[in-house]
Chain A
Amino acid sequence: MLCWQLCGIESVSAATLFDAELLASVEALVIRTRRVRSGPIHGEHRANESGSGLEFREHRPYTPGDELARVDWNVYRRTGKLYRRLADVMRDLPVRIHVDLSDSLWHESPARADAARVAAFTIAAIARGHEDEAHVFVCGASNEEPVRVRGQAGLIQLAEVLDQATPRGRTDLAACFEAAASYRRRRGLSVIVSDFFDPRGLTAFATALRESGERLLLLRVHTPRDREGGTPGEVTLVDCESGAELELDLDQAGLDAYRAAYAAFETAFDEMLLELGAAGLVIDASAPLLPQLEALFPAGSLVL
């Protein structure tokens, strides 16, 4: 029996996700980058190419063969020299959102999967609000086709997909991230929403992230109980995902050991953020999500 069934979790509904108040709250939030790779779709982010446009970038000396239309005749009139006037090209930011819905996120009640889904939906909504195309990948034991969020219709479809999502088995973040490689022909922003309880550890996943060259935003969903570890006693611990069992005579020393291990995990996560130059946020699944997400956007924008 799956964990979420055991726990009797009431999953969030599409109505909850596609909440007008939520959408209005995140409308003012924006994800900014200094440059994006050139692409075919117009957006709000400066591309690393220059061309025609309204946003002046620089003047360059005219060389034979350049388009005469780019010559800034006002400069020629003042200086008698030919210069080309170059402007920034504005392109969209490809956003890939990986939301981990493996069994471990459905373990408690309320499930941290709820917070993960709402966070993924919110990031997608922020991207859509600024003409960025987002692809949302639902991670688990099997990886399916992503949901493309481009307009309002895509956002509604995403809400429905997330609403109907069920526990997806074991966590394998690296595999999930690798499965989305074909969607990363243009470098963009990868958002990973997970508890990061990956049996393979963080190292393999960090390597995959590093090699992607993506801008990264890691949202780690946790609950306060993760840090506590429970109460002492003679217990058989059952892994929610693998079903593996561990018999323990749990006393205070054992709990201290667990807490130390969990603290080491949190430290490793922070160090991974620093190493990757990624933005990150630890989301408390038992607390309201929006205030936590807003903390990620100081002055309304998240600069990556």
Chain B
Amino acid sequence: MNFRTFDNSTFAMLLGAGAAALAVLHLLRVRRHRRSVPSILFWQSVVRTTRARSMAGRFRHPRTYAFLVLLLAVLLGALAEPVSTASTQARALVLDAGKASSQCLDELRARAVEHGALRAETAFIIARGGSMSIFAPGSSVAARRDALDQLQVGEGVDALAPLIERAAALVRARAMAEVLVLSPRSFTTDSVGLRVLHDVPRKLDVAALLPPNEVVAAAAPSNFSLNVDEALPLALRALQELPGVAQVDAVGLPRVSIKVGVPGLTIADRSIVASSVSGVHSALHEAPLPPLSASVQIGVQVMPGERVLLRAGDVPLVVMRRDAAQEATLFLQADLFAQGSHAANDTTLMALLVDWIHAAARHQLPVATITAGQSSALSCVADLSVLHSEKSVAATYTASTGALAMIEPSTAGPSSVQGHASADLLVQWPRMESAPAAITPPQQVSALALWELLALAALTLLVFDAALHARGRIP
């Protein structure tokens, strides 16, 4: 088991320090009863006996001490956010479909399937010699299958080292993760594939945000392509429990790709539009949103200071604006409007936005700060303020606990909702010339989440306390 907040040595050190402190407190813990005696003359010899065994004699409640240490370990574990390594064997699979693979594409495809390319937990990169598709862990299996079925050999040749680093970035937070490269190139004695067991260091410094010269070879040097889907797979889940959202049961919204520095702004009024972005997708997708069931991939080009409005049918979903002042800062602003004539009312939109935030936080944008409105917040914490009709409804999402504190649905039913929900999300990446940010792939938090651990600790405490009371150890 690993920990998200601490590494294992820090956890052990904290636990040791805590146990030592508890031991000291335990030794000092004395609850003496005053007893009057006719004379202490005969007790002097008892004092000598007691002093002979001194500290060892004071340590008279080892079970209590063991319990406290256990409690400390549980609390520390809760703070450290344990991640199970046994249940999620992380793997990143790189399929080299460049020019060199033209003779063995079918074999590569078969081996990719054999090694888990179609498993959702596997990070999967298809490199086609100048363009690539990246499937982060947790992404759609259907999309992977489609990508493999439609796999064509590219014209160029990718450098393998960046591919491996990128794949490692996708699984970097997991111990004993492995990167598997399927390539016919003779970079090893194995002419078909190279299996690299990559014990990913925790602070691996890799370029997960792709430098422009690697991905968009034809673009200007100042351009770069950001495949947001790597960090934010905006797979919206069914929200059947919310009224008025029955028709948005399988929204697979999209990889949002942003290419900066390329002139032009794509806006569609009634559909989500993805422009063709070299190196990511080759086709322009236009997917009418209602009934919001399509799984589309879009790419949007943004100029510094310009805005991109994504619309889902009549509903404008996201306005993205490239901030001109700070080169490496990307503002994502979401203005959500509920139109009375549309089935996707404000509750739907708010759910969409919350889910979007959820996804962002779940991926733990490592150097990103997400703020809400004018107030800043720590990463992985996003506040969403929703102004609904005449009352203000607040929804708070806290990524560390996965709890959505409150989200209040509006009046149900189509044609009856007039509302407005807005949230400004600021996502900051470091300047590109500095160490690029690594993308943390989705992690499987162990079954014991923070609140579960605390509840378990409290329950244990109660049981122990009750047992002590029952045995008369506690008056």
B471 contacts the other chain (Cβ, under 8 Å)? no
Q: Which of B34, B42, B45, B50 has a CB less than 8 Å from the CB of A249?
A: B50
B interface footprint on A228-251 (CB within 8 Å = 1, 0 otherwise): 011001111111111010111111
A287 contacts the other chain (Cβ, under 8 Å)? no
Pick from B25-33, B274-282, B416-424 the stretch touching chain A. B25-33
**Separation of A240 and B38 alpha carbons in the complex (Å):** 5
Task: Check if A246 sits within 8 Å of B34, measured CB to CB.
Answer: no
Contacts of B9 in A (CB 8 A): none
Q: Output the least CB separation between B57 and chain A (Å).
A: 5
Task: Check if B38 sits within 8 Å of A237, measured CB to CB.
Answer: no
Task: Check if B39 sits within 8 Å of A239, measured CB to CB.
Answer: yes
A15 contacts the other chain (Cβ, under 8 Å)? no
Q: Which of A233, A244, A250 has a CB less than 8 Å from the CB of B40?
A: A244
**Separation of A260 and B34 alpha carbons in the complex (Å):** 23
A254 contacts the other chain (Cβ, under 8 Å)? yes
Task: Check if B32 sits within 8 Å of A235, measured CB to CB.
Answer: yes
Contacts of B45 in A (CB 8 A): 257-258, 260-261
Query: Which of chain B's residues 37-59 have a Cβ closer than 8 Å to chain A?
Result: 37-50, 53, 57-58
B35 contacts the other chain (Cβ, under 8 Å)? yes
Task: Check if B35 sits within 8 Å of A230, measured CB to CB.
Answer: yes
* 13 A-B pairs in the complex with CB atoms less than 8 angstroms apart: A107-B36, A197-B38, A229-B42, A233-B33, A235-B33, A240-B36, A240-B38, A241-B38, A247-B30, A249-B30, A250-B46, A261-B41, A265-B41
Contacts of B50 in A (CB 8 A): 248-250, 254
Task: Report the nearest B residue to A259, measured CB to CB.
Answer: B42
Contact A257-B49, Cβ < 8 Å, known A246-B43, A247-B32, A249-B57: yes
Which residues of A approach B to under 8 Å, CB–CB?
3, 6, 104-105, 107-108, 195, 197, 199, 226, 229-230, 233-242, 244, 246-251, 253-255, 257-258, 260-262, 265
**Separation of A28 and B44 alpha carbons in the complex (Å):** 45
Q: Output the least CB separation between B52 and chain A (Å).
A: 9
Q: Which of A226, A244, A253 has a CB less than 8 Å from the CB of B49?
A: A253
Q: Output the least CB separation between B403 and chain A (Å).
A: 45
Q: Output the least CB separation between A225 and chain B (Å).
A: 9
**Separation of A226 and B47 alpha carbons in the complex (Å):** 17
**Separation of A244 and B36 alpha carbons in the complex (Å):** 10
Contacts of A3 in B (CB 8 A): 36
Contacts of B145 in A (CB 8 A): none
Q: Output the least CB separation between B162 and chain A (Å).
A: 68
Task: Report the nearest B residue to A244, measured CB to CB.
Answer: B40
B60 contacts the other chain (Cβ, under 8 Å)? yes
Interface residues on B, range: 20 to 34
Task: Report the nearest A residue to B39, measured CB to CB.
Answer: A197
Task: Report the nearest A residue to B53, measured CB to CB.
Answer: A253
Contacts of B57 in A (CB 8 A): 249, 251
Which residues of B approach A to under 8 Å, CB–CB?
30-50, 53, 57-58, 60
**Separation of A247 and B43 alpha carbons in the complex (Å):** 10
Contacts of B43 in A (CB 8 A): 237, 246, 248, 258, 261
**Separation of A212 and B50 alpha carbons in the complex (Å):** 41
Contacts of A239 in B (CB 8 A): 37, 39-40
Contacts of B37 in A (CB 8 A): 107, 230, 237-240
**Separation of A253 and B56 alpha carbons in the complex (Å):** 14
Contacts A197-B38, A249-B50, A249-B60 supplied; 5 other A-B pairs, CB < 8 Å? A107-B38, A199-B39, A237-B43, A249-B57, A265-B41
**Separation of A260 and B42 alpha carbons in the complex (Å):** 9
Closest 10 CB pairs of A and B: A104-B38, A197-B39, A261-B42, A254-B46, A236-B32, A239-B40, A107-B38, A261-B45, A257-B49, A234-B32
Contacts of B60 in A (CB 8 A): 249
Task: Check if A195 sits within 8 Å of B49, measured CB to CB.
Answer: no
Task: Check if B42 sits within 8 Å of A258, measured CB to CB.
Answer: yes
**Separation of A239 and B43 alpha carbons in the complex (Å):** 10
Task: Report the nearest A residue to B40, measured CB to CB.
Answer: A239
Q: Output the least CB separation between B38 and chain A (Å).
A: 4
Contacts of A244 in B (CB 8 A): 40
Contact A238-B49, Cβ < 8 Å, known A199-B41, A246-B43, A251-B57: no
* Centre residue among B35, B38, B48 by max chain A CB count within 10 A: B38
**Separation of A197 and B53 alpha carbons in the complex (Å):** 28
Q: Output the least CB separation between A286 and chain B (Å).
A: 14
* Centre residue among A229, A240, A257 by max chain B CB count within 10 A: A257
* Centre residue among B37, B48, B53, B57 by max chain A CB count within 10 A: B37
**Separation of A231 and B19 alpha carbons in the complex (Å):** 32
**Separation of A199 and B30 alpha carbons in the complex (Å):** 29
Contacts of B31 in A (CB 8 A): 234
Contacts of A249 in B (CB 8 A): 30, 50, 57-58, 60
Task: Check if B36 sits within 8 Å of A238, measured CB to CB.
Answer: yes
Task: Report the nearest A residue to B31, measured CB to CB.
Answer: A234
Contacts of B48 in A (CB 8 A): 257
Task: Check if B33 sits within 8 Å of A236, measured CB to CB.
Answer: yes
**Separation of A251 and B49 alpha carbons in the complex (Å):** 10
Task: Check if B33 sits within 8 Å of A234, measured CB to CB.
Answer: yes
Task: Check if B40 sits within 8 Å of A237, measured CB to CB.
Answer: yes
Q: Output the least CB separation between B45 and chain A (Å).
A: 5
Q: Output the least CB separation between A283 and chain B (Å).
A: 15
Contact A226-B38, Cβ < 8 Å, known A248-B43, A257-B49: yes
Task: Check if A104 sits within 8 Å of B42, measured CB to CB.
Answer: no
**Separation of A262 and B58 alpha carbons in the complex (Å):** 25
**Separation of A225 and B42 alpha carbons in the complex (Å):** 13
**Separation of A260 and B37 alpha carbons in the complex (Å):** 17
Task: Report the nearest B residue to A102, measured CB to CB.
Answer: B38
